[in-house]
Amino acid sequence: MKRPPPPSSGARRLIRPGDGQAEAEAWAWAQRHRGRPAIAPPPAVSRALAKVLKPLAVHHGPGVSELAEHWAEIVGAPLAAHSRPEKMQAGAGGLTLVVRARGPAAALVEAQSARILERVARYAGRAPKRLRIVQGPLAGLAPAAPRQSQRPAAPSGLDTEAQSLDRIMAEFQRAVEEREGVRIGPAPAPRPKGDE
């Protein structure tokens, strides 16, 4: 039994090599029936954020975190060990740089405030008009270890703690015996001075 030929519209037919018209029809059919392309992923946040932050950084200069990273270069290593920039405040009098200093280092920061403001202006591109100093501990730095007081060595010829305790106990026992009129027991013998 012979099959009837397929209809010409949209029907499949065998493509023989070298048949240009059949290859063009096959290509056109594949283009019409191709699946939809994959959805493009969203753009990277870093690229989108860079487009927003770059113009702001040019206009406003670096932030306090960048100042803190380069603080040793701006004020010098000895002063940077005892101070940190905290924030930039805008006010009616202009821009103010707030610096946190540990203890007496605040006086050193105050003494070099003109130099610090000049260097911050050179680095940041915007010049703070004033420097405000806040005294207190620095965040991120371990507090200085408390110094242990060294007890002076006992001069020779004086009692040690154990000998003085024995002496106090012997005197206490004698006082109790005198008050009560009873002998409590043998008095503890004081320790010799060289024995510890």
Give the count of beta carbons closer than 10 Å to the beta carbon of residue 116.
23
The more confident residue out of 10 and 130 is: 130
Give the count of beta carbons closer than 10 Å to the beta carbon of residue 99.
24
Q: Which amino acid is at 92?
A: A
How much is the pTM?
Answer: 0.43
Q: What is the pLDDT of residue 36?
A: 78
Q: In this predicted model, what pLDDT tens digit does every residue of 19-50 receive, in sequence order? A: 778 888 888 888 888 887 788 888 888 888 88
- Give yes or no for residue 15 having a pLDDT over 80: no
> What residue spans define the domains of the chain?
64-135, 162-188
Fold of 64-135: GMP Synthetase; Chain A, domain 3 (3.30.300)
Report the alpha-carbon distance of residue 113 to residue 124 in Å, rounded: 16
Report the alpha-carbon distance of residue 83 to residue 72 in Å, rounded: 9
Q: In this predicted model, what pLDDT tens digit does every residue of 59-81 receive, in sequence order? A: 666 677 778 888 888 888 888 88
Report the alpha-carbon distance of residue 193 to residue 159 in Å, rounded: 7
Question: Starting at the edge strand that comes first in sequence, how are the strands of the sheet with 94-101 ordered?
Answer: 83-91, 94-101, 130-135
